[in-house]
Amino acid sequence: MARRRSRRKMPDRSDYMLKEQKKVEATLDPRTMQQLSKFFNKGVISKLEHIIAVGKESDVYMATAGDAEVVRGEYVIVKFFRIETSTFFNMADYITGDPRFTKMEGRSKAAVIDTWCRKEFGNLEIAERAGVLAPKPYMFNKSILAMEFIGHEGAPAPQLRNYRMDIEEAEKIRATMMGYVKKMYLAGLVHGDLSEYNTLIKDGKPYLIDFGQAVVTRHPHAPVFLKRDIDNVAQYFRHTYGIETDAIKEYKDIVETADRDIG
3-state secondary structure 66-121: CCCCCCCCCEEEEEEECCCCCCHHHHHHHHCCCCCCCCCCCCCHHHHHHHHHHHHH
> For the whole prediction, is pTM greater than 0.85?
yes
Q: How confident is the model at residue 101 (pLDDT cuts 50, 70, 90)?
A: confident
Average pLDDT across the chain, whole number: 88
Average pLDDT over residues 7-18: 51
Which pLDDT value is given to residue 106? Answer: 53
Please state the rounded mean pLDDT for residues 176-191.
98
Show the beta-strand stretches assigned E in 173-242.
Answer: 189-190, 199-202, 205-208, 215-216
User: Quick one: average pLDDT of 140-166?
Assistant: 96
Has 67 been annotated as catalytic? no
- Residue where one domain finishes, among candidates 131, 152, 173: 152
Which one of 15, 59, 114, 193 is the catalytic residue?
193
The answer to whether residue 7 sits within a structural domain is no
What pLDDT is recorded for position 15?
A: 57
Q: Which of 152, 181, 206 is the last residue of a domain?
A: 152
Nearest 5 degrees, angle CA 96-CA 100-CA 101?
45
> Does some domain include residue 2?
no
Q: Report the alpha-carbon distance of residue 224 to residue 231 in Å, rounded.
A: 11
Q: What is the DSSP letter of 42?
A: T
Nearest in space to 133 (alpha carbons), one of 211, 212, 209:
209
Question: Would you say 212 and 112 are in contact if contact means Cβ atoms under 8 Å apart?
Answer: no
How much of the chain exceeds pLDDT 90, in percent? 68
Determine the pLDDT at residue 112.
85
Show the domain range for 144.
Answer: 15-152
Whether residue 47 is contained in a domain is answered as yes
In degrees, rounded to 5, the angle at the alpha carbon of residue 53 between the alpha carbons of residues 93 and 89 is 15
DSSP character for 160? G
193 is catalytic: yes
Q: Which residues contact 179 (CB under 8 A, 6 or more apart)?
A: none
Out of 210, 231, 259, 261, the active site residue is 210
What are the angstrom distances between the C-alpha of 218 and each of 114, 150, 211, 214, 225?
22, 30, 16, 12, 12
Clarify whether residues 74 and 189 are in a common domain: no
Of 105, 136, 152, which closes a domain?
152
pLDDT in tens, 19-72: 545 555 555 778 888 999 999 999 999 999 999 998 878 899 999 999 999 999
The pLDDT, as a whole number, for residue 231 is 98
